[in-house]
Amino acid sequence: MRLLVLGGTKNLGRHVVEAALADGHEVTLFNRGLTNPGLFPSVRRIVGDRSAPEGLTSGEWDGVIDMSGFLVRDVGLSANVLRDRCGHYTYMSSIAVYASKTDVGMTEDALLLDWPADAPEDQFSMDLYGPSKVRCESLLTATFGERTAAVRSGFVAGPYNPDFGNWGQALARGLPMECDARPDQPIQYLDARDLAAFLLHLTVHRIPGPFNAVGPTRTMAEVAAAWRSVVPDPPAMDWSPAVERFHLPHDGSNDGTFLLDNSRALEAGLHLRPDAETARDYVAWVQDGNIPPEPPH
């Protein structure tokens, strides 16, 4: 299959490309060529910017996986160029699209955030992150119809991916594991490789629709225990670190974001590996000399 990956050389995108190549697909990358430019030397690369996607006007692809769609204007420009040049379009969205942060068991049909009046479509801010993802999903559905999928995910952990604070480094180097969230905070996350495989699966099989691509809900303490179990002498847990890494309010005002219903994604082919496997592989990756990207503060 001829696949176009928008992005593809950072964090989750690396796993997407690795999975596609492992399955024998012909991959083309479209990005600015600034992040890990030497990665995947055998893969065709089109250097360009989302704000000026003219480089995409000369090719055709069976599927597109969009890992870099943040600005509404830029996603619209790419969609217009690719409308008749690709088969299926899979968009990396976010669980930040939902209007409620407290409802339990939200499906993909739950109420989404509105677009603020007079908001700019060509500028990024965290306040517009969720609404921008909603607007991009709507734009792509209007452009591609049943030829598009939106994958809504949140925390992603594993090699190349910095989520879960300093846990990988802490377990690899005997440092305290830091978590500023409540121990009973509900949490859902995915191994980056499982999310990458799901993105590829939807694209190859041309499966439409939005999907809550998240793991089962557990407490932060339960996940921490599973991660700590992979080393013989686990470090202590610090539940009140100086640096805030998880950005999860203690008052429960965001708990519903991690109590989502993931049954549609599971039925569509999302596979989940055990927490301990994710932790063990992440620790091994750090011990091999890799330095995780700095997580957002």
Q: Is residue 140 helix, strand or coil?
A: helix
Domains (range + CATH), the chain: 2-287 (3.40.50.720)
Determine the angle formed by the axes of helices 129-144 and 72-82, rounding to 10 degrees: 20
Beta strands 189-191 and 155-158: pairing type? parallel
> Residue 53 carries which DSSP code?
G
Q: What is the pLDDT of residue 297?
A: 39
pLDDT single digits (tens) 158-189: 998 877 888 999 999 999 999 999 999 999 99
Tally of CB atoms within 10 A around 51: 11
Phi, psi of 6 (to 5 degrees): -90, 110
- The 3-class secondary structure across 26-58, one letter per residue, is EEEEEECCCCCCCCCCCCEEEECECCEHHHHCC
Q: What is the pLDDT of residue 163?
A: 79
> What region does 218 belong to: left with phi over 0, alpha with psi -120 to 50, or beta?
beta
H or E segment to which residue 142 belongs: helix 129-144
Q: Over its length of 297 residues, how does the chain's per-residue pLDDT go in tens digits?
A: 999 999 999 999 999 999 999 999 999 999 999 999 999 999 999 999 999 999 999 999 999 999 999 999 999 999 999 999 999 999 999 999 999 999 999 999 999 999 999 999 999 899 999 999 999 999 999 999 999 999 999 999 999 887 788 899 999 999 999 999 999 999 999 999 999 999 999 999 999 999 999 999 999 999 999 999 999 999 999 999 998 888 899 999 999 999 999 999 999 999 999 999 999 999 999 998 787 665 443
